[in-house]
Amino acid sequence: MDELPGHFCPGCGVERKAFLRYPWHFCNDCRALACDGAGRRIDCFNTDWGGGFCWRYVDETEEALRTCRGVIALIKGRPAYLHEARFGGVVAEPLGSMSNPRPEGVCKITGTEPVAPPKR
Ligand SMILES: [Zn+2]
């Protein structure tokens, strides 16, 4: 198999290992910058060792953790989708017209107030 081409973080340009599953993922440094439309930073976690996804604002307590499928936030002013990575951890990918997640179960914080996932 051919070696994958180099991958460069879409947020800062740093070179990272390429993953076909997440071809445009942000580096961890950029992922840590994820915030809402007012610049309020968030932290994302797996809900347990088996995976899952939850997030909170960094200035909130652990009780504020919101469990959902993923969150749309801003990284360096650009919309990004943060969600559970397949083998644990959290991955942040640019939100592009070809990679919009299904809206069910996804919080949106690109404004100044969190928007809960739409009800089915
Ligand atoms: Zn980066």
Q: How far is the centre of ligand 1, averaged over its atoms, from the C-alpha of 76 (Å)?
A: 10
Predicted local distance difference test score (pLDDT) of residue 63: 95
Nearest to 12 by CA among 102, 118, 72, 92: 92
- Average pLDDT estimate for 3-32: 93
What is the CA(93)–ligand 1 centre distance, in A?
Answer: 11
Neighbours of ion ligand 1 (CB under 5 A): 9, 11-12, 27, 30
- Give the pLDDT score at 94: 93
Tens of pLDDT, residues 56-65:
999 999 999 9
Which residue has tokens 């200035």?
59
Distance 15 CA to ligand 1 centre (A): 8
- Give me ligand 1 centre to Cα 119, in Å: 33
Residue-range domain boundaries for the chain: 7-108
| 23-56 pLDDT per residue, tens | 899 999 999 999 999 999 999 999 998 889 999 9
Which of 113, 120, 46 is closest to 83 using CA atoms? Answer: 46
More confident residue, 20 or 97: 20
